[in-house]
Amino acid sequence: MADMDLTPDRILETGFSFWSSKTLLAAVEMEVFTVLARQPAGVDVLVRELGFHGRGARDFFDTLVALGFLARENGVYRNAPETDLFLDKAKPSYVGGILEMSSRRLYGFWDRLPHALRSGEPQNEARQEGGELFEMVYSDPDRLRGFLTAMTGVSRGANMTIAQKFPWDKYKSCADVGTAQGDLVAQIALAHPHLTGIGYDLAVVKPIFEDYIAGLSLSDRVKFEDGDFFTLEMPKVDVILMGHILHDWDLPTKKMLLEKAYRALPEGGAVVVYDAIIDDAREKNAFGLLMSLNMLIETPGGFDYTGADCIGWMQEAGFKDCRVEHLIGPDSMVVGIK
């Protein structure tokens, strides 16, 4: 009787979930939500505005309705509240950069997950072009700008939460290591006018960072410092942050970065690391585990990790009073005090 109560529904739903995923990714890439944010529209207007062929268009928009990303009334489509806020390119709250990258890059690479599991090797551009992901990204200005924008999109919610949850009143300065566009240090500076901040990254990032910071009127308090954290020491500040950085690297590199953070900080200073931290039992944070598989696809040695793992590495580097705090969605931060 127990077997008769079982259904394959969840198996089939997961097995076909790439259908709904690609529908959303296509809508982001083709700027459906940006167009509808300007004005709700019927299918004929959307076909014309977006350059669609008529065949499949109504099914596409109605699928987005069924998935909850659009609403429709009397044949007129409009954005759902979430997509209007987060997927309209004209809004500063836009997070679609990471979805654009997912559509154009990651979606195809994940087709090679079985190869990655058998070989342990990256399955991205490195497989065809040679070299390493970050070398290729940082050597191409257009690819770099798109990548950094994507990082801002995937990190924005956690960045804003760190700006609110961490006890910034105890500190005067911070540095965001591997800063990308600089959204983490920017959100902290916006929320705490007494703080000064540094965005630390390779020199090629500087103009992208400075444009972003200038757009937020933070150039007087937030500066860029160029450096390679493999060969140079980290900036000497009160708090060192690494957001979505540690998981990119193998275990020796993770430990090396935490050791460098420890050396750079004063007594009482803090390191703040955040990623999609896997729960210690490794059975609940599916996104964190999937992200670790994405590191298999994307990097030679990167992987995501549990809070207990990270605390152990921090303590090995010399940090004390280490703790894990949930941020938003699958992301948590691990904090250590020198």
Give the catalytic positions in this structure.
Answer: 247
Name every residue whose Cβ is closer than 8 Å to that of residue 227 and which is 6 or more positions away in sequence.
200, 201, 202, 234, 235
Q: Is 5 exposed, middle or buried (0-12, 13-18, 19+ CB in 10 A)?
A: exposed
Asked whether the beta carbons of 150 and 174 are under 8 A apart, the reply is: no
Phi, psi angles (nearest 5°) of residue 209: -60, -50
3-state secondary structure labels for all residues of the chain: CHHHHCCCHHHHHHHCHHHHHHHHHHHHHCCHHHHHHHCCEEHHHHHHHHCCCCCCHHHHHHHHHHCCCEEEECCEEEECHHHHHHCCCCCCCCCHHHHHHHHHHHHHHHHHHHHHHHHCCCCCHHHHHCCCHHHHHHHCHHHHHHHHHHHHHHHHHHHHHHHHHCCHHHCCEEEEECCCCCHHHHHHHHHCCCCEEEEEECHHHHHHHHHHHHHCCCCCCEEEEECCCCCCCCCCCCEEEEECCHHHCCHHHHHHHHHHHHHHCCCCCEEEEEECCECCCCCCCHHHHHHHHHHHHHCCCCCCCEHHHHHHHHHHHCCEEEEEEEEECCEEEEEEEC
Residue entry with tokens 């997961």? 14
